[in-house]
Amino acid sequence: MKQLFFPVQTKIDQEDITTNEQIEAILSRSTKDSGVAAFIKYHYELVGLLRDRFNFSVNFRNSRGWAGRLGNTTFRLGLLGVVKRDEADIAASGAFNRLNRFAEFDTIHQSWKFEAAFIYRFTPDLDTHGKSGNFLAPFSKAVWFLILVSLIVFSVIWVLFEIINSKLSPTNDPNDQINNIPDTESQKCYALTIQSSWVESFLQSFAALCQQGLDPIPKDHSSRFVVITIFLFSLVIYNYYTSSVVGGLLSSSDKGPATVDEITSSPLTISFEDIGYYKVLFRESKSPAVARLIKTKLSSSRPLGKIPVFAHIEEAVPYIKSGGFAFHCEVVAAYPLIAELFDASEICDLREVSGLMEVELLNWILPKNSQYTELFKVAMCSARERGFVERLLRQRQIRKPTCQSLYTVYPVTLSGALAAFFVLICKSHLNKAVSELFLDFFLVGGIIMSILMLSIEIIYVYVVFKRGQQFSIVR
């Protein structure tokens, strides 16, 4: 085949790329070029294998479009249209698997695995399950409710034991202040004692549940048995709670948005590599997930200074590094720059979400019933057996940078610790569901609850003694 010239069609999304020299200069570079898909350069290398094997020359032709049809006709546009009309002997590009294409093109080789995904860096505020250090997350609402009910039951039993013991063993201590005051005031004081015992029992039960000890220690055996039960209950609950918190902070495998719909509902800003097949996807796809993504993330205009919807990898990787940004591209094209700019801990934070485009082996296509189909098939089988294809794949398909850390500990976010501050200052969660507000109601405590209880006690004592004084004056 010496001195034969093969017209070869390729695809470069750049302006003013027309000459053979310009195209070869771009495709022969080992580094990433804007507007050039990674599999384009790989298939250019495969064309080089055939060129060296059969000693022919190549005349490259650039196409700005991938596919499409003219109106409602069968006339194909873009790279596929040029190959279908036999205007090029072979495409220096892969083609996606579509049922209608098998009747229009011959396939001579499949080796490039096309894998595109959203790449973003995980931060604690992206935890879609709301468990990144959440104060209430270790237990479900039902468990928290049962703990509260158990605390109330223990307090009621404790008070009942105190009342029964006081009835069965009345004190005859002459120094007892209640025995040394008049009957009416003694009754009032006894009523105050009973009322305060309920509050004290609840507070001491809560203190025991929090492993804060008791002062004073109950003297009767029945009350001591209740206290021991509360401490054992607290020990078991505390171990489950702390182990769940530590395990949740050390485990990071399931954190962050993991589907396209979760990416759509997340606060992440998203962009796509400036390559034509994304525009074809948005124009022709009928997937509900794609429609939601376009409506939620891409329909509104972006302010000046922000990265546009379609950008190059070199522009997007610094945004990925800073967090709060997801970039959709062919993953092997982003790995070299990520390995260069990210440190070890940031590499461990990387997440990938596929599903927007299918993972598939690309077809290397020729015109249907081409005279070179069988010849090139045999040549590519020979190249694969001799390891040439495997060598090119290792050079072009860069592996993902390896995470060197065994685990990553993420700091507790404000949303996760909000319930703890709620217990302290009794602040309402306006954005919580009704069930969560119901749970938070029972966690009311801290400063405001203490002030409220003190006010009630002062008012109650004042009213009781005031009535007692008026009753004595009347008598």
What residues contact residue 215 under an 8 Å CB cut-off, 6+ apart? none
Q: Tell me, yes or no, whether 404 lies in a domain.
A: no
Structural domain includes residue 277: yes
Asked whether residue 71 falls in the same domain as residue 29, the answer is: yes
- 24 with 122, same domain: the answer is no
pLDDT of residue 435: 40
407 occurs within a structural domain:
no
Nearest to 313 by CA among 325, 301, 299: 325
Q: How many domains does the chain have?
A: 3
Bridge partners (DSSP) of residue 5 are 57
Element spanning 346, H or E: helix 344-348
Q: 10 and 102, same structural domain?
A: yes
The answer on 107 and 171 residing in a single domain is: no
Residues with Cβ within 8 Å of residue 152, at least 6 apart in sequence? 202
Whether residues 167 and 240 fall in one domain:
yes
Whichever domain contains 127, its CATH number is 3.40.190.10
Q: Say if 380 falls within a structural domain.
A: yes
Q: What pLDDT score does 447 carry?
A: 66
pLDDT at 218: 74
Q: How far apart are the first and last CA of the chain?
A: 130
Q: What is the DSSP letter of 360?
A: E
Specify if 371 maps to a domain: yes
Residues 65 and 146 in one domain: no
* Residue 367, strand partner residues: 105
Is the domain of 208 the same as that of 261?
A: no
DSSP string computed for 64-121: S----BSTTSS-B-HHHHHHHTTSSSEESSEE---GGGTTTEEEEE---EE-EEEEEE
The predicted pLDDT at position 69 comes to 73
Cross-strand partners of 120? 326, 351
Cβ partners under 8 Å of residue 420, min gap 6: 135
Residues 23 and 97 occupy one common structural domain: yes
Question: 157 and 63: one domain?
Answer: no
Element (H, E) at 451: helix 446-474
- Edge-to-edge strand ranges of the sheet holding 90-91: 57-63, 5-11, 90-91
- Look-up: residue for tokens 């050039």? 36
**Do residue 302 and residue 272 come from a single domain?**
yes
Question: In which domain, by residue range, is 125 found?
Answer: 118-132+255-353
Of the residues 336, 369, 396, which one is the last residue of a structural domain?
396
Q: Determine, yes or no, domain membership for 344.
A: yes
Residues in a beta bridge with 271: 327
231 and 164 share one domain:
yes
Q: Does the residue 22 lie in any domain?
A: yes
Which residues are within 8 A (CB) of 267 and not within 5 positions of it... i.e. 6 or more apart? 125, 126, 324
Query: Which ranges of the chain have pLDDT less than 70?
Result: 1-7, 71, 73-75, 127-137, 169-199, 216, 248-254, 406-449, 466-475
The confidence score (pLDDT) of residue 430 equals: 37
User: What confidence score (pLDDT) does residue 197 get?
Assistant: 62
| H or E element at residue 160 | helix 141-168
H or E stretch covering 199: helix 183-209
Contacts of 297 (CB under 8 A, 6+ apart): 264, 269, 270
Q: How many CB atoms lie within 10 A of CB 163?
A: 13
Residues 291 and 218 in one domain: no
Residue 401: inside a domain, yes or no?
Answer: no
Say if CB 188 and CB 462 are below 8 A apart. Answer: no
Whole-number pLDDT of residue 425: 59
Give the Cα-Cα-Cα angle 437, 442, 446 (nearest 5 degrees).
110
Report d(CA 19, CA 27) in Å as an integer: 13
3-state SS, residue 57: strand
Q: How far apart are CA 126 and CA 263, in angstroms?
A: 10
**Sequential DSSP letters for 255-310:** -S--SHHHHHHSS-EEEEES-HHHHHHHHH---HHHHHHIIIIISS---TTS--SE
